[in-house]
Amino acid sequence: MLADGHCVPGKKGEKMNILVVDDETVQLESLKRGLKTNGYDVLEALSAEEALAMLEREGSTIDMILTDYVMPGMNGIEFLKKIREKHPSLPVVMMTAYGAKDLVINALRNRCDSFIEKPFTLEELINEIERTKFNMLQNANSHRLSELVSKFIHQMNNPLMCAMGSAQLGIENLHDGASIKRYMEKIIKAIQKIQVINKEMLDLGRAAQADFEKVKLSAVLFECLGSFGPLFKLKGISVDKDLEDDSLPVMGSVFGLEQMFNNLILNAVDAMDGMDEKLLKIRLRVKRAARKICVSLLDTGCGIPEEYLGKVFTPYFSNKESGSGLGLAVVKDVVEKHNGTINISSRPGKGTLIEVCLPLRGDDLNT
C-alpha cells in the first residue's frame, strides 16, 4: 500500500485518464486521492473483469492503466494479456509486492510497460507514471519519424529513376545534341523534385501549411508520364493514354498528387518486368453525376495474388524481393488526404487495374 498520501509539490501531472485496478478498497481510495491531487483524472475498478468492461465502454478515453498483480479471479498477468488483445499500445504499470524473476519476465513478454514494487511513496508512483508516459511518447514519436523518413526516401526513388533513365539514354545519344538537351532538362526536373522532397523532410515537426489549390489531373498525369518517358523507352513499355478533358479541377496538392501517380506508374513498370507484353493503359474520366473524377491504370504485369490484395496498402508489406512496401502506402495516404477512394483488382499473370477517384467541388460543377 502507499507509504504516504501527501501531494508531491511541483509534480502536477498533465490531464490524463488513469484507470486504477485494485481489489483492496482502502488502497484503491488512497491511490485515487493521491493521483487526483496531482492533477490526474482517475477511474477505478475492483477487479480485472470490471476494468476490461470499463475499457470497452470508455474506449480511447483511458490513457494508462495502473493495476495490482495479486487479485481474485484474474491476476495482473492474465489481465495484461487480455488488454494486449485489443489495446496493444495502451501503457500499463503493474504494482506488485513480489520481486520474482519469472513474474517480471512473464510480464515483459506480454509488453508490460513498467513495474512499481510495494510499498512505494506517492512521489515514486508519480515519477514512474511520468517516466512511463514519457517513454511511450518518445517511442511513438520515434516510430512516426522513422516511418515518415522511410516514405520520403522512397519518394526520392521516383525522380532518381527518371534521372537515371534520362542519363542512360543521353549516353546512348551523345551524337544528338537536341536529344542530349532534352534528357538534361528531364534530369534537372528530377533534381528539382528531389529538392522539394528534401524541403518536406526539413519541415518535419513544423506546422503543416495548407498547400491545396485547384489542380487539373490531366496536367499532373502528363507531367508524370513525361518524366518516366526515358524509362518507358529503356524498358520497352508502350503507354496508351486517354485523358478526357478535365476542365473541372480538383482541390489538391500538386506535390502529393504527383507522388501518388509516380508510385502507381513505377509499380506498374516493375510489375511488367519480364512479361512478353508491356502495355500501360491510363484513363481519366469526369463523372459529373457522382461528383468525382477518376483515373484508372491498367498494366499487363505479373498481377497480385488474391490473398495479398487486402494487404498491399499496409506500410512495409511487399511480395517483391527488393520492394520496400511503401509505394502503395504513400498512395493510400495521398488519396485519404484528398478525401478520395482507391480500388484495386488483379489477375495473377494477367495484370492489375487500379482506380483512384477524387471529389469535385460543387461550385465547379455548377459552372
Q: Give the CATH number for residue 244.
A: 3.30.565.10
Q: Do both 356 and 231 map to the same domain?
A: yes
What CA dihedral angle connects 309, 315, 318 and 322, to 10 degrees? 150
Assess whether 357 and 255 both reside in one domain.
yes
Q: What is the DSSP letter of 6?
A: -
Report the percent of the chain where pLDDT is more than 70: 76
Tell me the pLDDT tens digit for each residue of 213-258: 889 999 999 888 988 888 898 899 999 999 876 667 889 988 889 8
Assess whether 239 and 342 both reside in one domain: yes
Of 312 and 107, the one with more pLDDT: 312
Q: Apex CA 167: angle with CA 161 and CA 168, to 5°?
A: 90
**Average pLDDT over every residue of 329-352:** 90
Single out the residue in 67, 98, 120 at which a domain terminates.
120
At residue 206, the pLDDT reads 41
CATH number at residue 57: 3.40.50.2300
125 vs 28: CA distance, rounded Å = 14
Q: Is the pLDDT of residue 296 over 50?
A: yes
- Residue of higher predicted confidence among 208 and 202: 202
Question: Are 213 and 327 in a shared domain?
Answer: yes
Look at residue 324 and tell me whether its pLDDT is greater than 90: no
The CA distance from 67 to 96, in Å, is: 9
Exposure of 172 in the CB half-sphere (CA atoms within 13 A): 10
Domain presence at residue 86: yes
Asked if 214 and 359 sit in the same domain, the reply is yes
- Pick from 120, 139, 167: which residue ends a domain? 120
| Residue 139, pLDDT above cutoff 70 | no
pLDDT of residue 284: 93
**Which range is least confidently modeled, 261-265, 279-283, 354-358?**
261-265
In a domain, 110, yes or no: yes
220 and 98 in one domain?
Answer: no
238 strand-pairing partners: 279
Q: What is the mean pLDDT of the chain?
A: 80
Q: How far apart are CA 362 and CA 367, in angstroms?
A: 9
Residue 98 pLDDT: 59
**Structural Rg of the chain based on CA atoms:** 28
Dump pLDDT digits (tens) for 45-84.
Answer: 999 999 999 888 855 578 899 998 888 888 888 898 898 8
Contact 27, 120 (CB under 8 A): no
Residue 140 lies in a domain: no
- Say which residues have a Cβ less than 8 Å from residue 328's Cβ, sequence separation at least 6: 263, 267, 312, 313
Residue with cell 486521492: 33
Asked if 77 and 103 touch (Cβ cutoff 8 Å), the reply is: yes
Residue 304: domain span:
208-365
Asked, for residue 72, whether it belongs to a domain, the answer is yes
Domain final residue, candidates 87, 120, 153: 120
Confidence of residue 366 (pLDDT cuts 50, 70, 90): low
pLDDT confidence bin for 171, thresholds 50/70/90: confident
pLDDT at 148 over 60: no
At 323 the pLDDT is 53
Q: How many domains does the chain have?
A: 2
Contact status, residue 253 vs residue 211, Cβ threshold 8 Å: yes
Q: What is the pTM of this model?
A: 0.49
